[in-house]
C-alpha cells in the first residue's frame, strides 16, 4: 500500500489519497476512491450547509413577539423577544437617527 495521486474531477487538481485514507475507505466499505480534492470537498460541504440553512430559514424567518411601544404606547411586534428592562419601539418610533434628528 502507498499513497495514491488522484485528480479532482471538479477543479482538476491532483491530490493525495493517502494510505490512511485508503484504509479508512476500506474500513467503511467504500468502493469508490474520492472524486474531489479536499478543497472542493470542503467547498461542497459549505454549499450544502448554506443551502440547508436557507431552506430552513424560509419557514423559520418571522418569529414576532408582541410588545408595547415605549414611546407612543401602541401595540407592535418585534422580531426579538422583548426584555422588560429595555424599551421597545414600534416601527414609527424606531427610526434611524438621521430622521429622528429631523423631528426635534
Ligand atoms: Zn478540486
Ligand atoms: Zn411607537
In the chain, where the domains are located: 4-60, 65-103
User: Which residues have CB atoms below 5 A from the ion given as ligand 2?
Assistant: 69, 71-72, 90, 93
The dihedrals phi and psi of 87, each to the nearest 5 degrees, come to: -65, 145
Distance (Å) from CA 60 to ligand 2 centroid: 26
The number of the ligand nearest the C-alpha atom of 14 reads 1
- Ligand lying closest to the C-alpha of residue 74: 2
CA of 87 to the centre of ligand 1 (A): 51
Candidates 64, 6, 68; CA nearest to 36 is 6
How confident is the model over 81-90, as a mean pLDDT? 88
Lowest mean pLDDT among 3-17, 70-84, 86-100: 86-100
What are the φ/ψ torsions at residue 44 (nearest 5 degrees)? -65, -40
**Residue pLDDT, tens place only, 34-43:** 999 999 999 9
pTM: 0.43
Amino acid at each position: 500500500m502507498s499513497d495514491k495521486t488522484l485528480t479532482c474531477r471538479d477543479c482538476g487538481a491532483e491530490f493525495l489519497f493517502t494510505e490512511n485514507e485508503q484504509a479508512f475507505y476500506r474500513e467503511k466499505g467504500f468502493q469508490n476512491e474520492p472524486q474531489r480534492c479536499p478543497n472542493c470537498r470542503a467547498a461542497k460541504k459549505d454549499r450544502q450547509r448554506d443551502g440547508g440553512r436557507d431552506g430552513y430559514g424560509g419557514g423559520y424567518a418571522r418569529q414576532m413577539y408582541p410588545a408595547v411601544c415605549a414611546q407612543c404606547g401602541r401595540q407592535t411586534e418585534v422580531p426579538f423577544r422583548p426584555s422588560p428592562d429595555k424599551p421597545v419601539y414600534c416601527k414609527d418610533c424606531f427610526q434611524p437617527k438621521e430622521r429622528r434628528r429631523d423631528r426635534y
